[in-house]
């Protein structure tokens, strides 16, 4: 399947109009992480290099056709001395399939703190998805063969009081990436949609549902590399009325919290 460079490829049609590439996929609709990642690449190309993205907020409005290219329209909402804001709309066949706001910051000095990374098995102690005979894992491997994704077994996931649906995943891009921080940020935006909604199914493994991402918010907190191991510490604090709220904290191997994600998804019971 597609490399991250292929999945995030876009071309500039006009000053603030871009068109994303299609990529080979097993999915019946465009992968949400690809749409979000391409939209972020488009936004990044309209700001000066000293501004780094620190947050994005997106809504998946319609299912995208993976065989069709998506056009991204960028609006320059604000250009300030410390912050820039962009709004991006992804369009197919004249209809919006995705909309996103992204904020960029030059970086300032201030106090620091973060939550502690949970104590968990190292990724080397977990099986590579490519070595698993599980149909679900083999499907995952085929779709994202360029990613090393290692699910922490349910009986080894960190248990915390009051957290009803936890899930933990180690992941990294298998191939070396350029040093450009923008590449790693856009790669992480792509990946962040991969397994998060699955945390809502941890306590309901036998219920068949129709699943889809509805919205996606992400904060980039510290520098990181997407081609080195990252821990995605996920949970679903609430589910009801056919929707589930999910969230995840992303840590590097040294325990630095590098990103935070919140997503609501459709988990409608299949009739």
Q: What is the pLDDT of residues 219-234, one digit of tens each?
A: 999 999 999 999 999 9
For residue 50, tell me if it sits in a domain. yes
- Which of 74, 107, 140 is the C-terminal boundary of a domain? 107
Is 102 part of a structural domain of the chain?
yes
| Shared-domain flag, residues 176 and 91 | no
Q: CATH number of the domain that 102 lies in? A: 3.10.129.10
Q: Is residue 116 part of a domain?
A: no
CA distance 185 to 37: 9
Active site residues: 193, 213, 263
239 and 128 in one domain? Answer: yes
Q: Which of 77, 107, 137 is the last residue of a domain?
A: 107
Q: Does residue 95 lie within any of the structural domains?
A: yes
Q: pLDDT band at 133, cuts 50/70/90?
A: low
- CA-to-CA distance for 93 and 161, rounded, in angstroms? 48
Statement to judge: residues 192 and 70 lie in one domain: no
Distance (Å) of CA 173 to CA 3, 178, 185: 9, 12, 12
In this structure, the answer to whether residues 102 and 137 fall within a common structural domain is no
Flag whether 115 is in a domain.
Answer: no
Rounded CA gap, 208 and 213, in Å? 16
Q: Which domain holds residue 240?
A: 122-271
Question: Are 96 and 190 in a shared domain?
Answer: no
Residues 173 and 245 in one domain: yes
Instruction: Please write the tens of the pLDDT for every residue from 24-43.
Output: 888 889 999 999 999 999 99
pLDDT at 175: 96
Task: Give the chain's length.
Answer: 271
**What is the percentage of the chain residues whose pLDDT exceeds 70?**
96
Per DSSP, 33 falls in state H
């Amino acid at each position: 399947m597609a490399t991250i460079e292929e999945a995030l490829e876009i071309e500039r049609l006009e000053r603030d109009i871009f068109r994303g590439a299609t990529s080979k996929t097993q999915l019946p609709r465009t992968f949400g992480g690809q749409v979000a990642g391409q939209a972020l690449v488009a936004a990044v190309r309209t700001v000066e290099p000293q501004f780094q993205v620190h947050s994005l907020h997106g809504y998946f409005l319609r299912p995208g056709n993976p065989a069709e290219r998506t056009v991204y329209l960028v609006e320059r909402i604000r250009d300030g001395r410390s912050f820039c804001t962009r709004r991006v709309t992804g369009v197919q066949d004249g209809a919006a399939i995705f909309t996103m706001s992204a904020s960029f910051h030059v970086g300032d000095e201030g106090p620091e703190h973060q939550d502690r990374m949970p104590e968990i098995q190292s990724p080397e102690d977990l099986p590579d998805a490519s070595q698993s005979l599980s149909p679900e894992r083999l499907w995952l491997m085929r779709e994202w063969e360029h990613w090393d994704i290692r699910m922490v077994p349910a009986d080894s996931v960190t248990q915390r009081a009051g957290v009803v649906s936890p899930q933990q995943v180690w992941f990294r891009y298998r191939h070396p990436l350029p040093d450009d921080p923008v590449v790693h940020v856009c790669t992480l935006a792509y990946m962040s949609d991969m397994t998060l909604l699955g945390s809502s199914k941890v306590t309901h493994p036998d219920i068949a549902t129709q699943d889809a991402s509805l919205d996606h918010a992400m904060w980039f907190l510290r520098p990181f590399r997407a081609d080195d191991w990252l821990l995605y510490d996920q949970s679903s604090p609430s589910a009801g009325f056919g929707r589930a709220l999910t969230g995840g904290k992303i840590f590097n191997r040294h325990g630095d919290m590098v990103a935070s994600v919140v997503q609501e998804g459709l988990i409608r019971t299949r009739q």
